[in-house]
Amino acid sequence: MIKGIRAFFQRARTYIQITQMKPIARRYFVKDGFDGSMTMLGIIMGSWIAGVTRAEVIVSAGLGACLAMGVSGLFGAYMTEKVERKRQLKALEAAMLTDLKNSIHDEASNFVSVYAAIVDGASPALTAIVSLLPFILARGGAFAIFDAYIISFSLTLVTLFCLGLYLGKIAKENILLYGVQTVAAGVFIVVIFFLLGAI
C-alpha cells in the first residue's frame, strides 16, 4: 500500500512537471483563498451591521457560502482546465503528427484537470471555515456572540495577511508589504460596510 501511495505521488509530480501546473495551482490557491476570506468578511460585517445575535444564523449563511464557493470552484476549474488542456493536447498532436490518446501527456492532462479542481474548490472553503470557526464554537457555547465577531474578524485579517506573505514569498519581494496590502483590502471592506451602516 505504501509503495502504491508513493508511486501515485511520483506520477502526480511527473504530471505536474509535464503540464507546468505548479504556478497555475498556486494562483488558484491564493486567488480563491482570498475570495473565501473576503466573502466571509462580507458576511461577518453584514451580520454585525444588521445586528445579528444568533450564531446559528451566521453559521448557516457561512456554510452556505462555503458550499457554493467550493462547488463553484470545483466544477468551474475542472471544466475550464479540461477544455484548456484538451486544446493544448490537440495542438501538441498536430505538431507531432501523432495521436497522443492514452499517452503520458493525455494522462497528465486528465490528472491536472482534477488537481486544479480540488485546489480551486478547497481553497476558498478552507479560508472561509477559518473565519466561520468562532461562530461554530459560539453556537456550542464556547464564546459569546460579540467575542465571536471580534475573533472571526481578527482571524480573517490574519488569513489575508498570511496569503499576502505567501504572495510576497512567491514574488521574492518584500513579504510584509504584500501582507499589508492584502490586509488593507480587508480593512477597506470593513470601512465600506461601516459607511453603509451609517447611512
pLDDT digits (tens, 9 = 90+) for 151-179: 999 999 999 999 989 888 887 888 889 88
Looking at the structure of the chain, the number of domains it has is 1
Q: Which domain holds residue 188?
A: 31-72+120-198
43 domain residue, yes or no: yes
Q: Can you tell me the mean pLDDT for 23-29?
A: 83
What count of other Cβ atoms lies within 10 Å of the Cβ of residue 63? 16
Q: Can you tell me the mean pLDDT for 141-147?
A: 89
145 domain residue, yes or no: yes
pTM of the model: 0.83
The lowest-confidence range among 84-88, 95-99, 114-118, 188-192 is 95-99
85 domain residue, yes or no: no
170 domain residue, yes or no: yes
Q: Can you tell me the mean pLDDT for 3-21?
A: 82
Grid look-up 508513493 returns 6
Cell of 118: 480540488
Helices (H), the chain: 2-19, 22-50, 55-96, 104-139, 145-171, 175-198
3 domain residue, yes or no: no
Residue 55 per-residue DSSP state = H
pLDDT digits (tens, 9 = 90+) for 45-87: 889 988 899 999 999 999 898 888 888 888 888 888 888 888 8
> Are 180 and 168 within 8 A, CB to CB?
no
Grid look-up 476570506 returns 37
Q: What is the largest CA-CA distance in the chain?
A: 67
In one-letter notation, the amino acid at residue 15 is Y
Give me the pLDDT at residue 135, please.
95
